[in-house]
Structures are given as C-alpha cells and as structure tokens.
Amino acid sequence: MWDGRATDLIVAISLREMKLRLAERDGYFGGYVSCGSAAIRDHDSMFKRITKYGLAWLLLIASIAGCSHAPEPSGEPARKPSRTAKKLPSSKSPAPGSPRTKRTGVPERSDPREDPPAIPESPGAAPADPPAEAPEQEPEPKPRRSLGDLLSRPADSAARWIPELPRMQVDDARAAAGGIRKLSGKRLTLYTDMPPAKAVDQLPEVFDRAFVQWCEYFRVDPAQHPDWSMTGFLMKEKARFQQTGLLPGDLPSFKNGYARNYTLWLYDQPSDYYRRHLMLHEGTHGFMNTILGACGPPWYMEGIAELLATHRWGDGRLRLNHFPTGREEVPYWGRIRIIKDAMAENRGKRLVGVIEYSASAHLETEPYAWCWAAAALLDGHPRYRDRFRQLAESVRQGDFTERFYRLMHDDWDQLCEEWQLLVSTLEYGHDVAATAVDFTPGEPLPPDGASVTIAAKGGWQDSRLRLEAGVEYGFTATGRYQVDDQPQIWWCEPGGVSIRYYRGRPLGILLAAIRPDQPDPSGLCGLLRPAVLGLRASLKPKQTGTLYLKINDSAAELSDNAGELKVEIKMNDE
C-alpha cells in the first residue's frame, strides 16, 4: 500500500536520488561528544563510503527485484561498522560532592516500570491455541499468510478503512455468560473480563474525552459524527473472548492491541497508565481509519498514535499529546528510556531511518519510541508544527511520505540537526519549543568586537556573529541569573555552580558552539560539540561558522530559569 510505486520514471529516479542523498547523510549516529570541545566522534569517511555504496547496491538489487520502495533501513547500514567513539558522560554522572541535584542530574536507576511490556501475549492471557475441548463453535478458518503479508501488515492495527467488513455484533447475554461484562460510554462500549476497578471502569469516560481532542487535533467537527462510537475488548484471559466469538480468528496475531474499523482489542497491561495508553493508541488508529479513512504510512501512523496516546489523566481531566515530565507519570511507557539507551549504545536513529520504517518494524517496541520522538519534535516545534499537522489531510494518499519530504524540503537539513539535538539530549519534560534553534547565519564580527545577550531560559541561541576558522577570539561573560527556583532561587554566574552538574559540567556554565557555514549533512550537528567558556575564555574555531551560546542546563529544566547574561566577544591580538 505504501510502496510509493511511482508511475513517472523521472519522479521515481529523482525520489531514489533523494532517498540516496538522505540515506547517505543518515545512518545511525550515536554517543557524540566528550567533555570539552574537541573530543568528538566524527563520521569517519570509511563509514560514509560503506553507507553510500552499500545503499547503492541495495537500491540496485531492489530495483532489479521490482521493488520501488527504497530499502527499508536507509539508516541501518551504520549498525554494522564498528567505531571507536568516545562516549559522552551522560546525565547519569553523579555530581561531585553534590548535596542535591536538579531532577535531571539525579543518577538514574533502572526502573523495570519504565520498560514497556515486550511480552508476546499479555500476562494471564491464555495460550495462543485454545484448549482442545473448549470451543463449541466452528473453528475459525486460519487466515492465509504469506511472507508479503507479514512484511506489509501493520503490527497493531489495520492501516486504513476496510470496506465491506460488517461491524462486529456482540451478544451481551453470551458475553455475560462467559464472564465478560459491559462498560458503556458515549464513544466506546467496552467488554472486559477484568474485575471491577476504578481504573478499568472509567476507560469509556477517558475515551469519550479523547474523542473531543482527536476531533480538535484532526480538525474534525464532532457535530458531524454524533453517533460515532467504537466497540472495545479488554482481555485478561484471551480464551474467554475466543470462546464467545469476540476475538475473531481472522485477526492477525498481535502483541498488545489491534484496531480494525470500529473495533479494538486490548490485552490487559501491567499499569493503569499503560492500559489507558494502549486504548488511546488503538483508539487513535480507529478514529483515523473510520473518520479520515486511513492512518498513513508506518512512521506517521504509529508516531501520531503514540503522540496522542501519551497523556495525563486525573481529576476527570484528560490531556492527550502530553510530553511526560517524569517516568513516574507514565509507568511502563518507556519511550524516552529506549531512546536514551539506544543513544548510549551508539544506536541513535537518523530521522530518515524513522521515516522509512516498514510496517513490519513495529513488531518490535523500539520503533514506537523513535516514531513518537519524531512526532513529538514535528508537532512540538513551532517551525514545523503547522506543516506536520497539515499532513493529516493526506493520510489516504499513496505519496504521503513524498509529500512530507516536499513540505520539509527547504529546511530539511535544519530539521535533521534539530532531530539530532533532541534525541541526543532527550529528557522527561524536554521543552521542544524552548530549545528550537534559530538557524540565521551570522554576520562577520565587527573589528572592535561585539556584545551578545543570552537568556538563561533558552537552548542554543544564535549570536548572529560569524567567527572565522583559525582566528582566536576572546570571550568575557558577566551577569547573574536564576537556574532553579526550588526550594529557593538558585543564582548563578557564567562560571556555573560547582556543586550541581549537568552532563558532567557545572550547571549554568556558559557554553559555545560553532555551526559551520556549510554543515556536513552526513555528520554530527555542530551544536553537539560545545566548548566551555565560563567567565572568560579564548576560542579558535576549526571551522568558520555562526557562533551559538547557551548555559549548561537540561532541556527539561529551562522553565525555572530566569535572567540573562552578557557576553563580550573580540578578536584576540596576534
């Protein structure tokens, strides 16, 4: 469905060139910088050659085989070459002598509740094959499977509306006799064998509130869908549902949940949060298939479902599209943990690698995390949000992803840099909007120097100054600003606070980075190679480019900062 088969040869060739170009810049990337400015892992040229020629061969083989889809993992080849990279001291580094740390500076302990369930079936689920004596009904015909089916079928939902599939009818009396009770809401009728509990019984209410927000997000008028509702099955014991005909045999096997037209199926999950999350995820697929007609290609389908399923619920209020502020808020969700672990293992995924995920990728959990991160960036970033939301109008179009590339064409390279910055510094509570980067190129430094004001609240800030490679510049920074407000205001100067650390450096210390005039699109974003300035420093850039400045703080901890600092920059005398 999403093979993107181009009818026009020229379009096909240019698309392949584009994909090759994108893929070339897009293997995996990993742990990036060490402390200080110089210890960077650059993309080595051998790696680029391997990526380039490997992809060229794959494309050739794919075209011989008649497959018009670029080989799935434009980002995959980089998994293989081994590289000697210096690892970034992570936020796990304890603050030396720190009596207390900022939230993100707290050494992270592995918390099993952060791990998304990766079980083939839910706990307590019956074996896949029902007991021989159990079914009284006719055995369901087993769906025919081919390798093509497995590779093209989304793992947890139909990807579009299935016409001529009759709506599932439930015999309430038979269900009740089988130990399955009915929970009724306006937008969801949920059948479950779970015992009564507040977190279960309120699921239809959560779903009702979600419907309003789905309508708002996708610009759908709820008045046009007064009777829209789905039927759901929340299963603790799979066999009960099989025996009562509520888990049809023509459904593909699924790990956690599945949605098809107006019906969704869920296995119970190990936390109240993750059970709701799964319902909202499948509900998003159901909403899109029944109202928009389709979910789009895998990266978008799963990215949007994860974006809108990630939520906050309490006191009868629901907020979809919530960026979790802490792992305790989202037990068993684990998307941020998955990305942080992958980054620590040098398995950072390039954006194009996420965009090119095939449907079968989502048989694993990790792609859900990368798709969520891509959607969270595109939807949370002020420069991309409108374009990203506009895509929802194209979910039924076979060239959806090409439309996406066209929409992002003019600032694609910057988007890839923002992606690298996000996934390299991702935190619970990451403020995507506050860390958005202005990519305006700098002007040459005036002969008598310049002064720049930097806000403590921001991420990398464009000085609008262009520094020359090989020239030594002197920096002097002054100012007093706030880096925390709990339990009292923490004041800081450009030298940082030496008893609290973030990423191995004093919290609040002034950092600088040069974004080259001609960034290597296959390389590491220049802003991931910061140098420490502090109160006073000299810097001789290796590449000519625009100077960026920020204070050292987590992207999740900017909202409690206030004030600014002044940085004087001049050319040092020879």
Is the CB of 114 or the CB of 302 nearer to Zn ion?
302
Is the CB of 159 or the CB of 527 nearer to Zn ion?
159
Helices 298-309 and 366-380 pack at an angle, to 10 degrees, of 80
Is the CB of 185 or the CB of 298 nearer to Zn ion?
298
Report the nearest approach of Zn ion to the CB of residue 285 (Å).
6
CB contact at 8 A, 286 and 301: no
Report the nearest approach of Zn ion to the CB of residue 395 (Å).
14
Report the nearest approach of Zn ion to the CB of residue 220 (Å).
19
DSSP per-residue letters across 441-493: PPEEPPTT-EEEEEETT-SSEEEEEEE-TT--EEEEEE--EEEE-SSSPEEE-
CA 565/CA 453 separation, integer angstroms:
6
Is the CB of 280 or the CB of 509 nearer to Zn ion?
280
Report the nearest approach of Zn ion to the CB of residue 546 (Å).
40
CA 71/CA 487 separation, integer angstroms:
53
CB contact at 8 A, 567 and 549: yes
CA distances from 87 to 41, 212, 339 (A): 9, 45, 16
By CB under 5 A, name the binding residues for Zn ion: 156-157, 302, 305
Report the nearest approach of Zn ion to the CB of residue 193 (Å).
23
- For residue 308 the two structure tokens come to 């809108």
Is the CB of 359 or the CB of 452 nearer to Zn ion?
359
Report the nearest approach of Zn ion to the CB of residue 495 (Å).
48
Shortest-Cβ-distance residue relative to Zn ion: 156
Nearest to 251 by CA among 260, 243, 240: 260
The DSSP output letter for 392 is G
Report the nearest approach of Zn ion to the CB of residue 426 (Å).
21
Is the CB of 104 or the CB of 157 nearer to Zn ion?
157
CA 473/CA 463 separation, integer angstroms:
14
CB contact at 8 A, 159 and 293: no
**Which residue bears the tokens 């210096």?**
86
CB contact at 8 A, 559 and 76: no
Report the nearest approach of Zn ion to the CB of residue 305 (Å).
5
Is the CB of 178 or the CB of 303 nearer to Zn ion?
303
Report the nearest approach of Zn ion to the CB of residue 456 (Å).
40
- For residue 430 the two structure tokens come to 């990451």
The residues, any chain, with a CB within 8 Å of residue 132's CB and separated by 6 or more, are none
Report the nearest approach of Zn ion to the CB of residue 157 (Å).
5
| Sign of the C-alpha dihedral computed for residues 461, 465, 469 and 471 taken in this order | negative
Is the CB of 305 or the CB of 421 nearer to Zn ion?
305
Is the CB of 37 or the CB of 157 nearer to Zn ion?
157
Q: Give the bridge partners for 548, in sequence order.
A: 462, 513
The residues, any chain, with a CB within 8 Å of residue 461's CB and separated by 6 or more, are 438, 454, 455, 548, 549, 550
Is the CB of 54 or the CB of 298 nearer to Zn ion?
298
